[in-house]
Amino acid sequence: MISVSAPGKLFVAGEYAVVEPGQPAVLVAVDRYLTVHLRESVEAGTVHSPEYGRLPLVWRRDGDGVAIDVEHHPYDYVMSVITLVERLRAERGVAPRFFDLRIDSQLDDASGRKFGLGSSAAVTVATVRALDEFYGLGLTRRQAFQLALLATVRVAPTASGGDLAASTFGGWIRYSAPDRARLRARLDDGVAVGDLLVDDEAWAGLDLRRLTPPASLRLLVGWTGSPASTERLVDQVQRRHRAGAYDQDVFLAESRDCVDALTAALDAGDDEAAAAALRSARGVIRRLGDATGLAIETDGLSTLADVAEAAGAAGKSSGAGGGDCGIVLAPDTADVGRIMQGWEAHDIRHLAISVHPDAGGV
């Protein structure tokens, strides 16, 4: 049996802008995990998770491809990975075998509600790494990330892949995405997956940088308890952009400035400057919400961040917003006890989460 765990993640800054190739964001991997268990099977394969317990998915081989028994199912990302890995396996002349996958997740609460910690990314990364081990494909960590991104663009074409980067490489990371539409077109054209992984030109725009915050800077995570849909919000923001609701160039420039300021502050070990950069990043996201009329920073997230600011820290929505989690960067001088009390008074749950360490490969 092969078991591979991948960490969840939180966006720190640069959301929405990062879907544009080359635009930076900062993310952090967290110590909550999704685990994929893989066991060889005799014929056909199944995918199973406690969350969708009554819906085990059965898949078979169909010529060079993979056929599944149901049309709509909650395992899109897993099936996209299996399809691509089978393609790579065939290219490398590795003999096919069947396997069963079981998914266990800590990225939701006891009743199965998601925290918004990147479960789709974690299941994609963990499945790639489990299959890499199963077939002995010898992927580097970077190639495992690339394969995870290729699998993702077929399911969610606009997704930046920042969450995959955090889940693959761990720790704090600065990330810019390649042009996923181009990568997808290459895949659809039937390019060899192995060739695409080493084609540097196809990955132009992809940039990964390890960040190391000072020990004095604390990361706090609050959960508003209301679920959010990243896909819906990203789609609506893009519609508003096409309708001219806001100036995209200004938004991208402002977002980049915040990410650069945060990067510089972390490099310099300056926790106050890091908090200041996060406050600016909050402003950029709030202006995007105002211009588009979308509840990116919901009332719950506003309270979460206001409480942090009043205690000398900085807070903002994380990821697409609309609910889920908010993050706080608290410098040494901030009153963390006051933040906890304020959150409790407003029904915001503090999640006892720490950073998942740097896993190497960047």
Q: Whose CA is closest to 57, among 7, 25, 99?
A: 99
Chain positions 113 to 132 lying near ligand PMV, rule: CB under 6 A, are 116, 118
The reply to whether 8 sits near ligand PMV by the rule CB under 6 A is no
The reply to whether 234 sits near ligand PMV by the rule CB under 6 A is yes
Nearer of residues 49 and 152 to ligand PMV, judged by Cβ: 152
Tell me the three state secondary structure of residue 229. coil
- Of the candidate spans 16-24, 30-38, 96-104, 270-278, the one that interacts with ligand PMV by CB under 6 A turns out to be 16-24
Phi–psi pair at 107, nearest 5 degrees: -90, 20
DSSP string, 162-196: HHHHHHHH-SEEEEE---HHHHHHHHHTT--HHHH
Nearer of residues 18 and 304 to ligand PMV, judged by Cβ: 18
Report the distance separating Cα 34 and Cα 327, nearest Å.
21
β-partners of residue 4 are 36
Burial of 122 (0-12, 13-18, 19+ CB in 10 A): buried
CA 159 from centre of chain? 9
The reply to whether 162 sits near ligand PMV by the rule CB under 6 A is yes
Size of the site for ligand PMV (CB under 6 A): 15
Q: Give the residue, chosen from 137, 159, 202, 334, that forms a contact with ligand PMV under the rule CB under 6 A.
A: 159
The reply to whether 300 sits near ligand PMV by the rule CB under 6 A is no
95: tokens are 């003999």
Rounded to a whole number of angstroms, the minimum distance from the CB of residue 114 to ligand PMV is 10
Q: Which amino acid belongs to residue 218?
A: R
Rounded to a whole number of angstroms, the minimum distance from the CB of residue 33 to ligand PMV is 16
Rounded to a whole number of angstroms, the minimum distance from the CB of residue 300 to ligand PMV is 15
Point out the residue whose Cβ comes nearest to ligand PMV.
Answer: 319
Nearer of residues 70 and 253 to ligand PMV, judged by Cβ: 253
The reply to whether 254 sits near ligand PMV by the rule CB under 6 A is no
Q: Which amino acid belongs to residue 207?
A: D
- For the chain, the farthest-separated pair of C-alpha atoms sits apart, in whole angstroms, at 63
- Of the candidate spans 10-18, 218-226, 248-256, 336-344, the one that interacts with ligand PMV by CB under 6 A turns out to be 10-18
Q: Give the residue, chosen from 106, 143, 160, 263, that forms a contact with ligand PMV under the rule CB under 6 A.
A: 160
CB neighbour burial string for 219-246, b if at least 16 within 10 angstroms, e if fewer: bbbbbbeeebebeebbebbeebbeeebb
- Of the candidate spans 11-19, 31-39, 40-48, 132-140, the one that interacts with ligand PMV by CB under 6 A turns out to be 11-19
The reply to whether 165 sits near ligand PMV by the rule CB under 6 A is no
Nearer of residues 88 and 160 to ligand PMV, judged by Cβ: 160
Nearer of residues 45 and 118 to ligand PMV, judged by Cβ: 118
The reply to whether 16 sits near ligand PMV by the rule CB under 6 A is yes
Phi–psi pair at 268, nearest 5 degrees: -85, -5
Cα angle: 97, vertex 84, 78; to 5 degrees: 80
Rounded to a whole number of angstroms, the minimum distance from the CB of residue 227 to ligand PMV is 11
Q: In angstroms, what CA-CA distances link 235 with 21, 118, 239?
A: 17, 18, 6
Q: Give the residue, chosen from 130, 259, 320, 339, that forms a contact with ligand PMV under the rule CB under 6 A.
A: 320
The reply to whether 18 sits near ligand PMV by the rule CB under 6 A is yes
Rounded to a whole number of angstroms, the minimum distance from the CB of residue 12 to ligand PMV is 11
Q: Whose CA is closest to 353, among 5, 120, 8, 6?
A: 8
Q: Give the residue, chosen from 319, 323, 326, 331, that forms a contact with ligand PMV under the rule CB under 6 A.
A: 319
Report the distance separating Cα 272 and Cα 304, nearest Å.
19
Which residues lie near ligand PMV (CB under 6 A)?
11, 15-16, 18-19, 116, 118, 159-160, 162-163, 230, 234, 319-320
